[in-house]
């Protein structure tokens, strides 16, 4: 099963239409349809956005290994998500880029 197929599986598990799923992650219905048909590639930003929005485990989405969902989110994660949802899409993208940079720094520190 591909990551594109797992996105569709997730959407169906959540009981969401393509339109509602797309709206939740601020992308177009057509883009979701293209993803599910395998006509579009899934990038890291989209994976992170789906995982944050729907509390999905990144490893499952990428590989299919393990549980689909994370354990119950912490209060801190819920606060971060509720704040993230209030941001305009261009600011959401900025936040995701900053998170990627922080993860890189953290990983470099861990490797030392």
Has residue 108 got a pLDDT over 80?
A: yes
| Every domain of the chain and the residues it spans | 3-111
pLDDT over 70 (residue 35): yes
Helix (H, G, I), strand (E, B) or coil at 56: strand
The mean pLDDT value for 91-111 works out to 85
Q: Taking the CA atoms of 64, 15, 29 and 78 in sequence, report the sign of the dihedral they define.
A: negative
Evaluate whether 3 touches 47 at the Cβ level (below 8 Å).
Answer: yes
The pTM of the full predicted model, rounded to 2 decimals, is 0.66
| pLDDT above 80: residue 112 | no
- Phi, psi (rounded to 5 degrees) for 56: -95, 145
Question: What is the token pair recorded at 112?
Answer: 């030392």
CATH superfamily assigned to domain 3-111: lambda repressor-like DNA-binding domains (1.10.260.40)
Residue 73: the pLDDT is 65
pLDDT (tens digit per residue) in 53-86? 999 999 999 999 999 998 776 788 788 888 888 8
């Amino acid at each position: 099963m591909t990551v594109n197929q797992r996105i569709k599986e997730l959407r169906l598990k959540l009981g969401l239409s393509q339109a509602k799923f797309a709206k939740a992650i601020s992308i177009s219905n057509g883009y979701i349809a293209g993803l599910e048909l395998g006509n579009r590639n899934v990038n890291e930003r989209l994976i992170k956005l789906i995982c944050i929005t729907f509390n999905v485990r990144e490893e499952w989405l990428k590989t299919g290994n393990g549980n689909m969902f994370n354990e119950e989110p912490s209060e801190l994660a819920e606060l971060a998500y509720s704040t993230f949802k209030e941001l305009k899409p261009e600011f959401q993208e900025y936040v995701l880029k900053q998170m990627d940079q922080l993860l890189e720094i953290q990983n470099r520190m861990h490797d030392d």
